[in-house]
Amino acid sequence: MKVNGKKRAVRSVVFLLVAAAAMFAIAPYLLFDPAYSRVKLNPALPFHYPLLLIHIFASFLALAVGWIQFIPGLRTNFLRLHRLVGRIYLGCIAAGGITGLAVGMYTESYIRQLAFLALAVLWLITGWKGYRTIRRGEVRDHQIWMLRSYAVTLVAATARLVTPLCLLAYMALQGAPDGGVKAAIAPVLEANIWVGLVLNVLLCEWLFVRRVR
């Protein structure tokens, strides 16, 4: 009982941290005002902000509903609900992934551009594999690919959670820049997405995928 209680406590803390990071990420876009965009908008792409909004909200919805499909017993006891959640989740991935490719192509920073494009491609591939495997009746492979897909989905939250650690690592490796902490933020925000992606993939494979196999 104590072990189960600890597991629930850990899950609750993780859930709250992810929820807080997700709300922080989406908050400026709830105003529907380009002036508050955290992503620098490229004037060469007239629909940059609308595409960014679709990407942000699709990603947020995928993050919000994706975990439901992993609830123990949902597939066996509430198959219709499981399928509905899966369809909503995969629909969000399609919308978020395609718009993510467009947004990534017009991102100013080269490193962030590569990060956006890599995430979008991985998101679309893992989502497609999750869809194809269940259509073929390959339930175990479907579970594995959906776990991998949600690991990619969580990068948006993980990248923000690891930002303080990335900042400390930057200070330790590069030293304090002339402009202080503010001057270190820009390079840190170019690295945190990659750190979040690698961390999520490793944890997913180690903690979850190997158990399903």
pLDDT digits (tens, 9 = 90+) for 181-205: 777 888 888 889 999 999 999 999 9
Q: What is the DSSP letter of 34?
A: G
Task: Give CA–CA dist 30/49, Å, rounded.
Answer: 13
Q: Where are the domains of the chain?
A: 58-212
Predicted TM-score (pTM) of the model is: 0.88
Using pLDDT thresholds of 50, 70 and 90, give the confidence band for residue 61: very high
Q: What pLDDT is stored for residue 213 in this prediction? A: 67
Rg (CA), the chain: 18
Rounded to 10°, the helix 110-135/181-203 angle is 20
Task: Give CA–CA dist 186/198, Å, rounded.
Answer: 20
Burial 123-136 (b: 16+ CB within 10 A, else e): bbebbbbbbebbee
